[in-house]
Structure 1
Amino acid sequence: MSLTHNNQVQLLEDILNNHLEDCCGTVSECQQLERLVQSLMENQAVPEQMKPLLEKVYSYCQEGSQAANLDNHIHSHQEDLSQWVGEIDTYSSLL
């Protein structure tokens, strides 16, 4: 069973929210987020205004998966994560 774009957005929000609340994560989570974002970027049902946010999240994940200390990377992006989770929640109502 494949995930709908609504499911993908919810999963994206859940993982980012976990990074925000726990201040830690794994490289595999970053890689999963990269795949989710790529899929969402290619999906015509995703609003165009959401694409810049997805690009920021993609960069965050790429940097995180290559970071020497992923937890420090996550910690240094707490403000961004909070903003992104809020934006995703707003976009979720449009989907």
Structure 2
Amino acid sequence: MPLSYNDQMSILRDILSNHQSDCCGTVSECEQVERLINSMLGNQATNEQIKNTLYNIYDYSQRGKNTQHLDQHIQSNQQNLSQWVDELNSFS
């Protein structure tokens, strides 16, 4: 059963919030974020105004899964994570 748009948004917010609060994460989470965003960008329900944020989060995930030091990458993006979670909250 596919996830609804609201479910996808909720999972994306949860993963980003966990990265922000825990200052750590996994490559699998980065890959999950990428899959969620790909699906959301292909969905007509996705607000045009949130697409830039989704592209930025996708880039963050790409860099995160390809780095040797994921926790450092997450820590250096704390401000971005906070901003993205706020933006996602405003569109849900």
Letter matched to residue 42 of structure 2 = E
Shift of 1:37: 0.5
Q: Percent identity?
A: 52
Shift of 1:2: 1.2
Distance in 2 between residues matched to 1:71 and 1:61, nearest whole Å: 12
Distance in 2 between residues matched to 1:13 and 1:91, nearest whole Å: 11
Distance in 1 between residues matched to 2:2 and 2:66, nearest whole Å: 28
Q: Give the alignment's TM-score, normalised by structure 1.
A: 0.96
Query: 1:64 aligns to what?
Result: 64
* Structure 2: gaps (5+ residues): none
Distance in 1 between residues matched to 2:56 and 2:21, nearest whole Å: 19
Aligned pairs (5 A) from 1:43-54: 43-54=43-54
Counterpart check, 1:83 vs 2:83: yes
Aligned residues: 92
* Structure 1: gaps (5+ residues): none
Query: 1:4 aligns to what?
Result: 4
* Cα RMSD after superposing both structures: 0.4
Q: Which runs of structure 1 show a deviation greater than 2 angstroms over 4 or more consecutive aligned residues?
A: none
Letter matched to residue 10 of structure 2 = Q
Shift of 1:76: 0.2
Counterpart check, 1:14 vs 2:25: no
